[in-house]
Structures are given as C-alpha cells and as structure tokens.
Chain A
Amino acid sequence: MSYFSTVPQAPPDGILKLSVLSRADSDPSKVDLGVGAYRDDNGKPWVLPVVREAERRLNEDPNYNHEYMGVGGLPALTDGAQQLIFGSNSPAIGQGRVYTIQTISGTGANMVAAVFLKQFKRPADAAVYISKPTWGNHRSIFETAGHEVREYKYCNYKTLTLDIDGMLDDMRSAPEGQIFVLHACAHNPTGIDPTEEQWQQIADVMSERGHFPFFDCAYQGFATGDVDRDAYAIRLFVDRGFELLVAESFAKNMGLYGERTGCLHAVCQSSDVIPQVSSQLNRLSRATISTASAYGAKIAATVLQDPRLYEEWLQSMQDMSQRIKTMRDALRDKLVALGTPGSWDHVSQQIGMFSFTGLSKLQVDTLRNQYHLYMTDDGRISVAGLNSHNIDYVAQSIDAVVRSS
C-alpha cells in the first residue's frame, strides 16, 4: 500500500481553473477577463520598452553573471524600491529606520511578513484582519503562517463603493493592537479605494486602537498613473508615526510578473531596532528561499537607478493606467447607452486592474457558457482584458445576460 495513499486530492485553484477553461475555448469571440495581467489593445502581453532596454544592457555587460545575491537581495533594487514607495525625501529613510529585504514578488513579501508577524507580533494572539473581500491568497498566506484571520467590512455590495463606516466600526470594535492588511491602492478584487480624507480617518482610528498596518502594494503607479499619488496612504501612515510593513510588487507596474520581483519593507520607530528586525527577516527568508531571484531584480534596479529609463517607465505606467481608464469609461458608457438595467457608474469610478461588476454567479456562469466571456465567480473583471476590439461584444453580452436574469 503506498505510503502516500492517505494524502487527499486537493481542490484546484479557482482563478487558474478559469484560465484552463478559457484556454480550452476556441470560440473566436472569446474574451478572457480573468487573470490579472496587463494586456495591450490587441489583447497581448506587453513587455515594457524600458524592461527590454534593461535586459539588453545586462546581457551586453561583460561583468554580467548569475552569482548569488546576499540574503537581503540586490541593494540597487532594495534602495530604489524604498525611495519609490516612501519618497526619496522620506525622513524614515533618512533616519535609517527602514529595512528592506528582496522577496519572490508580492506573494513572497506577504509570506515573509506573515511569518515574521507570527513570531514577533504583540499581543501574541493578535488576529490578522483582511478586507471583505480581498485577494484570494491573503487568507491562505496568513492562516498557513498560523494566524487567526478575521474580516473587516470593506465593500458595500449594493453600491459597489467603499463601506467606510463599516470599515471604521470594525477597526474600532476590534481588540486593541490587531493587525490590519490594507491595500495601498487599486484594491484587489474590487477596485474600490478610499479617498485621501477616508485614509486620514482610517489612520486616526488605527492610531486610537494601536493597530498595526500591513500594506500590500502591488499596483503603485498602475492605479492613478502617478507613483506618488498611489503611495499616499503608505506615506500618510509613515508621516503619522506608525510602524508598518509594506509588501511591494513589480509584477504589474513593471510587467515583471514571472520574474518574481518584489520587496518587503519594515518601517520602525527608530534605527535602534533595525539590527534585530533585519537579522530576523533575513533569518526567516534564508530558511525559505535562501535568497530571491537575481534577473528581475537587476532589470528593476536598472530602471529605478537610471533617470532616463525611470522617466520612461513613469510614462509607461501612465499609458497602461490610461488605457485601463479609457476601457472603464467605455464599458460604462456603452452599458448606459444600451440602457442596461442597473447603475454602472462604479465601473468607471473603481480604479486599477480590476472592477467588481456586481454580476451574480449565475450571470457569470451564463456569460461564460453562452458568451465565452471569462471572469471570476465574484463578478470581478480584469479591465486590462478589455480592448477596442472586444468592448462592444462585452457590453452587449453583459446587457443581454442582465436583461434575461
């Protein structure tokens, strides 16, 4: 009898299951609005010109090799990433109270944060609060690390806007000193972000209750097209004197997806605790991956450190976010023009890669089975999957399905 006979079959990953179905569908009108990767107006993956340029330079460098990086990662990347997130004039950086470790993209940064917090959080029984809803992997990452995970209200499912009162209520009524996972910008999956005033209220309440902020920042520059605007919430909290952790990903904003390039930043109250905090982050990362991957880090560092490439990159992010905004507005306008029942303003008001359409699971299934339109069961669409060639078809399909429900 096999040693492994008692190992049960695990359920397949929901989102990936969707892409398997989508790939198997050969209908010419098929539209994939599932996976969260940017697509150009022809529905193709887009490798940023600055990334190609950085690759070219790397490969032409006679000193280019594949040697190990240190446990902390590539300094040119971690330094550049710090400045990008916190601002080059950030007093926190100047005071030497930020430590940054390179990670396997955003997921890896979340994982390192989760493991670190499990070991060192105070109180030791602090729960981790995630938004309802949130990225599917958040719960899994924090539960795997051994935390109790709870939800805070976030999305008003009727209006598909932020339930700020519910969110603040949950923060006030939670025991003191809990950990809150906050999306820095371009909330996944809803696309609903707090306004600057709402962020200030959130900071007020978190400060009153002594809560610890963990920011997940996967879309800086990709949300509004402006890296400083997109970092508003993080910088506000730093300014207010919070200690915090930030998971940063270059998957979307630099299109480095599969190169797995990211960082975890720890902002501490003073530089005094940096030696021990950094030693523990390094220790735990060493026991999971030893060091993060070099290639994507070198590309990102090249872009961050070269002024001309950096400017071009900012422009590319504006272009990507602008195309997405255009598609949002177009979808909303077409649905309104078709007279599709319901309100569709949320589609253009939401921000970032995703839109929470408000479509029901039944409607989602119908769209998939009859119209070859793929989106996740919660009605989330990847707006990047929309383009000038398919937008009419998508609007008409949604219209048809909503009317017949």
Chain B
Amino acid sequence: FTSRVQPVAAARCLSAWAQVEMGPPDAILGITEAYKRDGDARKINLGVGAYRTDEGKPYVLNSVSKAEQSLLQKSLDKEYLPITGHAKFTTAAVELAYGNGAADNASVLGRVAVTQSISGTGALRIGGAFLQRFTAGKAIYVPTPTWGNHGAVFRDCGLKVAGYRYYDPSTNGLNLGGMLEDIRAMPKGSLVLLHACAHNPTGVDPTPEQWAEIQRVVEENEHVAFFDMAYQGFASGNVDRDALALRSFVAGNKAPVLLAQSFAKNMGLYGERVGCFSVVGADAGERDRLLSQVKILVRPMYSNPPVHGARIAGEVLADPGLRQMWLGEVKEMAERIIRMRAALRSKLEDLGSKKSWNHITDQIGMFCYTGLTPQQVDRLAQEFHVYLTRDGRVSIAGITTGNVEYLAESIHKVTKD
C-alpha cells in the first residue's frame, strides 16, 4: 500500500504515553539478574520462588509427568473450558482443600462455589474483585509482612489495603499479641487475609493453639476470612495438616470463608497457572448464586481458564495411583526443605555463631526470614556471591547439600561482628 507516513493529528504530536511514569522496579528480578551476571562458581541464588532439587535443578514431579504422558496419549482436543474451568479438577481441588473425610463434610463440599483460576494470583484477584463488589467500603488487611504482590492485587481491585501485626523481628517469630489486638481493632466485618500455611515471606506459622485464638477473635468481630493457600502439602509434608486452619474456620461456621488455592508449588505446575478460587456458601442455593456472580467477574477478565495444567492436576488428584505418588513427592519436597533448614542451622552453630538461629528450623515452608539486615544482604551478594532479597528472606529451595556449608560460612562471616 501507499507508504504515506503522515504525522498524526496535533493532539498527538507527543506520544500518547509521554506522561506515563516508570513502574516500580521488581526487587526479585533484580536479584536474579545480578545472580546471572555473576561468574563466580560458588554463587548461590536464594531468591528463587520455585522448588529446586538437591542438584539445584527444577523438578518435574513424576506424578505430573505420568499424568501428562497419559493425557498426551489420549489426543484430547483444545476446546474452551467453561468459565469456571475443568470440573474434574475443581471438584478434586475443593476436596483436597476442605477435606473429604467426615460425614458432615459432605455438606461443606455441596455448598462451596468454586472456579478454576489463573493460579493463586488469579484466585486472589477474583476474590478481591468479588469482595470489592459485594462488601462496600471495606478494607482488606494483610499480615506485616506479606507476599509482595498482595498489595498490588487488592489495590488494583479497588480495595483499601492495610496491615496487621504479624512478624516479630525480635524473636523472628509470631507477634500473636499484636496480631490479635489489631484484628480486634479492625471495624466489624473487615476482610482479613490469612496465609493458610507456610507464610510467605517469613515462614512463621501460628501453632494450632494460636490459630484457635485467631479464629475466635475473627469470629467475635464478624470479620471475613480470605485464606491464601499456596503451599498445601509443601509446608509440613502432609496435605491435611497444612489445611487445618482453613478447615477449622469452615467448621466454626461463623466467619465467611474464601480461599485462593495454588498448585504452582505443590504440583510444580508453576507456569501452567493452575489454581482455584472458592467461597463457602450457606447452602447449595447460595453456592449457585455466588457462582453466578463469580462468572460475571471472570468473563471480562479472561473468559475461561487454561486447560492443560488443569487436566494434569485433575488426573493426578483423581487417579488413586497418581495421587498416592503425588502425596509422596510433596512429602519428599517438604522433607528436603526441612533437612536443609536443619543443616543450615547446625552448621551455623558448629561455626560458633553467637546469634540464635532457632528460627531457621522453627519456621516452615519455602522461605526463611533470616533476620539479616540489608547491609548484610548486600555484603553477601558483593563479597560472597550469595543472593537473597534485602528483607533477609531466603528461599530454602535454593540450598543444597553441595552449597549449605559455603552458605553457612558466608552468613557467619557477615553476622559475627
């Protein structure tokens, strides 16, 4: 065609985007890039948010691989899923989260409105949009600290985001008193985001007794409990244990419960974006009503969710053999993490460190809040080629039997003064 390059109208002599501000830099990306540029053979990447084997490699679970192979044999089509996703998967996911044992549990399963989501982030987004639309004027409270993306997700939903006390830097443990005080101080009916297990970034989880106290205060103040469960099975190695807090709130039948569920870590399905958002309704009729509104939220976001990862997860959960295999693999991943925690702590103690490192083994899940200062973190990167985020968060998955000794020595060197 004619190559008539014309300037566009006067109103647009400048780029339409000239006034667009630079977005905030990604802290974690910066770490990864610095790590990649580093040529030292001893370098360690402790910023990674994905599981690594003891050889430092990504891990495709055997149960997942088998499920995927079996699906490939079936030569399935790629037709659109319904808005709420792959039913075989969502049904199994709901049972996994809420339990499938007790007789009265059948009543819970029958009143859970569930939709497949774009992993955990997508579930949080649907939940945030749902709460923004149907609970006017409420703020959502997140623990201090919390996963870096929580604030962005909820603010973009139009919710006000505030914090409640959670982590106690002086003990590297839970500030239960502060947490309960803050929950009591919230206006009645506030939205409370709770990490179901393996708190990110601190690894500090309430004990069952502490959860009972938290639940009581949430219920007394008529707050809404929105659980973010990204590590079921990955924390303790047992899927039921990791879901205890969630199930206890549901059994309490007082606080409304919403759940964002991710299979990124516990099934290693990261990039396939496999997750679910669910709300527990009063009965099946309410479930249908809630689901109808969830669909209205999902359709203008992305119409319907990706099929591949959901089929894999559905196979793994529904096939008895694959499910057993999967439970074993999740346990192994959790146990390797626990072993690395123990190894790091004991090596630091062996080196004669004067600091207390109990929190390394007291904390649980993928991450450890070491208590290292930003200056110490910078030294670790610059002098020792060890990379972690400046809040002192270590991804235990980046630790291996091959590097734990060097890591302990490096940490000891920057903390012994």
Contact = CB atoms under 8 A, between A and B. Distances in A.
A122 B19 contact: yes
Interface string A33-71: 001010000000101000110011001000011111111
B79 A295 contact: no
B306 interface: yes
Interface in B102-131: 118-119, 121-122, 125
B78 A51 contact: yes
Given A45-B79, A277-B17, A294-B271, A67 B50 contact: yes
A6 B24 contact: no
Q: Give the interface centre of B7, B69, B80, B264 by most chain A CB atoms within 10 Å.
A: B80
A356 B237 CA distance: 57
Q: Give the interface centre of A12, A66, A141, A255 by most chain B CB atoms within 10 Å.
A: A66
A306 interface: no
Interface string A198-238: 00100000011110100000000000000000001001100
**Main DSSP-derived SS at the B contact region:** loop
A291 B269 CA distance: 13
Contacts, number: 253
A288 B125 contact: yes
A288 B8 contact: no
Contacts of A10: 289, 292-293, 295-296
Contact of A273 (B10, B18, B72, B303): B18
Nearest to A278: B23
B3 interface: yes
A196 B286 contact: no
Given A9-B292, A288-B156, A258 B304 contact: yes
Interface string B251-278: 0000010000000100011111100000
B272 A294 contact: yes
Contacts of A105: 302-303
Given A210-B10, A293-B271, A9 B289 contact: yes
A343 interface: no
Contacts of A280: 20-21, 23
A16 B79 CA distance: 14
Contacts of B256: 3-4
Given A59-B72, A122-B19, 19 more contacts: A7-B134, A11-B292, A64-B60, A66-B60, A67-B270, A68-B50, A105-B303, A108-B302, A257-B78, A258-B81, A258-B307, A260-B302, A268-B15, A288-B153, A288-B156, A290-B119, A293-B118, A293-B306, A293-B308
Interface of B: 1, 3-12, 14-24, 26, 29, 49-50, 58, 60, 64, 68-69, 72, 75, 77-83, 118-119, 121-122, 125, 134, 149, 152-153, 155-156, 224, 256, 264, 268-273, 279, 281-282, 286, 288-290, 292-293, 295-296, 299-309
29 contacts: A4-B134, A4-B286, A7-B286, A7-B289, A9-B292, A10-B289, A10-B292, A13-B299, A16-B82, A35-B80, A47-B78, A65-B60, A66-B268, A67-B50, A70-B29, A71-B26, A104-B302, A210-B8, A240-B5, A240-B6, A270-B15, A277-B17, A280-B21, A283-B24, A287-B156, A288-B301, A290-B118, A293-B309, A296-B306
